[in-house]
Chain A
Amino acid sequence: AQSVSQHNHHVILSEAASLELGCNYSYGGTVNLFWYVQYPGQHLQLLLKYFSGDPLVKGIKGFEAEFIKSKFSFNLRKPSVQWSDTAEYFCAVNEGSSGQNFVFGPGTRLSVLP
């Protein structure tokens, strides 16, 4: 069975600091990878996704993620965070061809101090 781990439970940064949230998955086959964000009181939104091709994926709001197949990782990055980035971030993976077995990581709470 697939599983997803996220390195940090809670990350606290000051505005303008750089962000990197770790995500690792366990699955031997082809995968699709996702990052979702959940702002306080709002529903889950898709930040970015990887299916194939360039392992560096750019998403909305200045976020990007890099798929490193050899490390089974899909870390999320942003060069300069803003207070409005305060949210819960979830990494997710599903099987590449079928799209089945969509599994979420435990989430990382990001707090950005003004």
Chain B
Amino acid sequence: SAVISQKPSRDICQRGTSLTIQCQVDSQVTMMFWYRQQPGQSLTLIATANQGSEATYESGFVIDKFPISRPNLTFSTLTVSNMSPEDSSIYLCSAQGTYNEQFFGPGTRLTVL
């Protein structure tokens, strides 16, 4: 299984600013994913991040709002741009394992004031 770390673990940000979340995997993986989880709710996939290609976004999420980088096989970043209080959530990254399962990071709890 892969071990995934995220930074920061939490942050409080002002409206209109941007935050970049980092995700590090302890092994090389082809596919990484970014999710959003509202408190007490399930996970919603934001985008799939493959190394060497543009991220693939799910319906309702756009690159201008959530730009993603995937510079190598162990690292990815998600930026939440021009934040509003509606962006307050937990942001999770995950990595796909050998059998198409996903392993999750601890999440980044974002509060936008």
- Residues of A with Cβ closer than 8 Å to B? 32, 34, 36, 42-46, 49, 51, 90, 92, 94, 98-99, 102-107
A43 touches B100 (CB 8 A): no
Knowing A43-B106, A46-B1, A107-B42, say if A99 contacts B100 (CB, 8 Å): yes
- Complex: A92 Cα to B99 Cα, angstroms: 14
Known: A46-B1, A51-B100, A99-B31. 5 other contacts (CB 8 A): A43-B104, A44-B43, A44-B104, A102-B33, A107-B42
- Complex: A36 Cα to B37 Cα, angstroms: 14
Q: Whole-angstrom distance from the CB of B76 to the nearest CB of chain A?
A: 16
Knowing A32-B101, A46-B1, A46-B103, say if A99 contacts B43 (CB, 8 Å): no
Kindly name the residue among B92, B96, B101, B107 whose own CB sees the greatest number of chain A CB atoms within 10 A. Answer: B101
Chain B, interface residues (CB within 8 Å), range: 10 to 19
The 3 A-B pairs at the shortest CB distance, nearest first, are namely: A99-B100, A44-B104, A43-B106
A43 touches B45 (CB 8 A): no
A104 touches which of B31, B43, B99, B106 (Cβ 8 Å): B43
Contacts of B105 in A (CB 8 A): 43
A32 touches which of B43, B100, B104 (Cβ 8 Å): B100
Q: Whole-angstrom distance from the CB of A56 to the nearest CB of chain B?
A: 17
